[in-house]
Chain A
């Protein structure tokens, strides 16, 4: 195995006097799919927000390619695709406009790919329909279309399969696999049983829960 991309060392986080995790260490290499497991409230989203450099309420170290993610945050954000609990889809914009904004935030990506990405997530024909007219699952798919556009090495996905139908989930699993095979890495949380066999590594937060 080559050098790990992301190294998490002795992560500690507490919320409202409740320790979510303590001494949490793991690393993610190219080609890994890491599933964060745990019951509701065990801190999965909190962990992903910390890994996405959105939250700094933690102790410990996180290194991306050998440097702390907050020391060289620009490099890290260049390599990162973060899909949060909320999909970040504007209800009054159409799927295409939403993706155009994503492209504006990542200007080196190819705008011509938007139609292709929307076709891939099954939203062909809905390009010009405002997102508030679409179903919850379709809105989620607009967010997921970013995965087809992105050139980021690390994907952090918080419950990407929420409200997605069975065929959609199978397609997303295949997508995660394809990303791992092209040398990318995925960290995700899901309550869905991932059908990816030996490709998945699991990090369980349940044992970490405790009170101070």
Chain B
């Protein structure tokens, strides 16, 4: 059989990959990769931001330009718009990785899925939740939200939006195997978003009326911690099921 080409491969070293892995490293690598991907495919993260901006700018036109009315509904409008634009971006979280086989590669690798998932969700938040939070004061001004409410607005969004990303990730992971999972994600996830919405708007109302905000923010923080610890586990399990099907 002289027709064979000869190739040289390095020797196999048994137990080569069984060294202790560092979760921090893979978390950081995932974060970097996903942020880079998001920057190359800008529509994924620009769309929700434009949606957010449009909802807030259409409200005065549709409801009433009356400053007094707008300032009362402003906390709710900003929060609902943030929630819906997060939801809008949720479906794409695992979609492209699922379709091009990258998700399979992650699942067969010896890395702890928990940290890969956490990295993906954090990068999703950095590309949606964080810009939403930074844009929120602008929307607040457009809706005549009094200055005293700005602190509550930014802080509640800063603590609340990561929870939205984490919970939405569960829905995205469960439906990624389906051809059209978009609507299903909303149905699955909206009920779980409601507590975040309630305490988020309550924090703004409290800061508007001069009441202490700390209690609402503490509850939002508690939800965030719960989400950080448990949601990646649920997402990891859901991804295994979705890929398995």
A208 CB to nearest B CB, Å: 21
Contacts of B194 in A (CB 8 A): none
Indicate if the CB atoms of A84 and B104 lie closer than 8 Å. yes
Contacts of A85 in B (CB 8 A): 101
* Interface size range on B against A: 35 or more
B69 CB to nearest A CB, Å: 45
Given contacts A171-B7, A178-B8, A178-B9, contact A108 B19 (CB under 8 A): yes
Interface hub of A91, A93, A101, A102 (most chain B Cβ within 10 A) = A101
Indicate if the CB atoms of B108 and A53 lie closer than 8 Å. yes
Given contacts A52-B108, A77-B110, A151-B16, contact A107 B5 (CB under 8 A): no
How far is A207 from B110 in the complex, measured between Cα atoms in Å? 35
Indicate if the CB atoms of B25 and A82 lie closer than 8 Å. no
Contacts of A109 in B (CB 8 A): 17
How far is A196 from B110 in the complex, measured between Cα atoms in Å? 31
Assuming A57-B244, A130-B40, A196-B4, what are 20 further A-B pairs, CB within 8 angstroms? A54-B243, A57-B245, A74-B110, A82-B104, A84-B104, A85-B101, A86-B104, A88-B101, A88-B102, A89-B100, A90-B96, A92-B37, A93-B36, A93-B40, A105-B105, A109-B17, A151-B16, A173-B5, A174-B5, A184-B12
Closest to A175 in B: B7
Closest to B244 in A: A55
Indicate if the CB atoms of B105 and A82 lie closer than 8 Å. yes
Indicate if the CB atoms of A86 and B108 lie closer than 8 Å. no
Indicate if the CB atoms of B26 and A54 lie closer than 8 Å. no
* Interface size range on A against B: 35 or more
Name 10 A/B residue pairs within 8 A (Cβ), A-sorted: A54-B243, A88-B105, A91-B100, A92-B37, A97-B33, A104-B33, A130-B40, A182-B12, A195-B4, A197-B1
Kindly supply a per-residue 1/0 record for chain A positions 171-196, scoring 1 wherever the CB is within 8 Å of any chain B CB and 0 otherwise. 10111011100111000000000011
A198 CB to nearest B CB, Å: 8
Closest to A82 in B: B108
Interface residues of chain B, those whose CB is within 8 Å of chain A, are: 1, 3-14, 16-19, 21-22, 25-26, 29-30, 33, 36-37, 40-41, 96, 99-102, 104-111, 243-245
B116 CB to nearest A CB, Å: 8
How far is A178 from B37 in the complex, measured between Cα atoms in Å? 35
A128 CB to nearest B CB, Å: 13
Contacts of A56 in B (CB 8 A): 244
Contacts of A144 in B (CB 8 A): none
Closest to A56 in B: B244
Closest to B13 in A: A151
